[in-house]
Homo-oligomer: A and B are copies of this chain.
């Protein structure tokens, strides 16, 4: 089988540009014992991928080696198999990378029911789900009646956090980068949706959270971070999941002064999805249940063809995507 693969061949110089990738065509390897061949059908593009391109070896996950396929999660179908647990036709999810065909063993792929659309897996049950679940339940520990603020709220993680928070009885304030995204947030049940490009963001936040903010799910950094931080209540909890506003810059923005961390006894905690793979089953049960009952909405932004990933990934950093960014192969 002929495999098309996109390798990372250079580290990005701040912005992601086409010249850091190389598309190669190669023969797929013969299947060994217990191996099976996956044809990837849907590939996820996520903000965290920007960090994986960096040479920083002290981060939570090793960098993508130059010359290797760019790392990504995806969904596919088994098309050849030497493994009885993964017969031909099985729908599988895994970290398949930017390529069409992947020779897998059992550790590299997870079978998922064929009835669940690939889009739902990548938007709700895979990375976004485990990330939202971990940050909300294990870091923030939300209590009914509290107020939560969410930056990057129209993103795949943010929109899940908001909907889970509504289910838990919180007042939910979302921040997004366009009026269209804000309208969608209201549609899926957010109490308040604020365009972060607004002037006087501090005042808008104070007005939207007259009783202050107890919980903050941070996906972006920037002006929202400061406006929310200034309105935190005593014993507030902040889960730091992403800083998308600072990934593509050589001058990361300054954080807030720490005096309020003392005065308000705040807890600010970072977390990353790969540390919490063990919670996948609990998350999938909870999310799957909500999804089937129609309590969780998602929307997707579909790109067409493997090579659309190269330019398409930048939509995440310009805010140009409306929904979970997925490449359909």
Contact = CB atoms under 8 A, between A and B. Distances in A.
Interface of A: 51, 56, 58-60, 218, 221, 225, 234, 240-243, 246-247, 252-272, 275
15 contacts: A60-B265, A218-B258, A240-B262, A246-B259, A252-B259, A254-B254, A254-B255, A254-B256, A254-B257, A258-B270, A261-B268, A262-B272, A266-B268, A266-B270, A268-B269
Contacts of A260: 270
Nearest to A59: B263
A307 B174 CA distance: 53
Contacts of A247: 259
Contact of A268 (B225, B254, B267, B271): B267
Contacts of A265: 60, 269-272, 275
- Which interface residue of A246, A256, A270 has the most chain B CB atoms within 10 A? A270
Given A255-B254, A255-B255, A256-B255, A270 B275 contact: no
A86 B150 CA distance: 54
Contacts of A221: 257-259
Contacts of A257: 221, 243, 246, 252-255
A58 B252 CA distance: 30
A242 to B, nearest CB: 7
Nearest to A212: B58
Please give me the 7 A-B residue pairs with the lowest Cβ-Cβ distance, nearest first: A254-B254, A255-B255, A261-B270, A252-B257, A262-B270, A268-B268, A240-B261
Given A261-B270, A266-B270, A268-B268, 16 more contacts: A60-B262, A60-B265, A221-B257, A221-B258, A243-B257, A252-B257, A252-B259, A253-B257, A254-B254, A254-B255, A255-B257, A262-B270, A263-B272, A264-B270, A265-B275, A267-B268
Contact of A263 (B56, B253, B261): B56
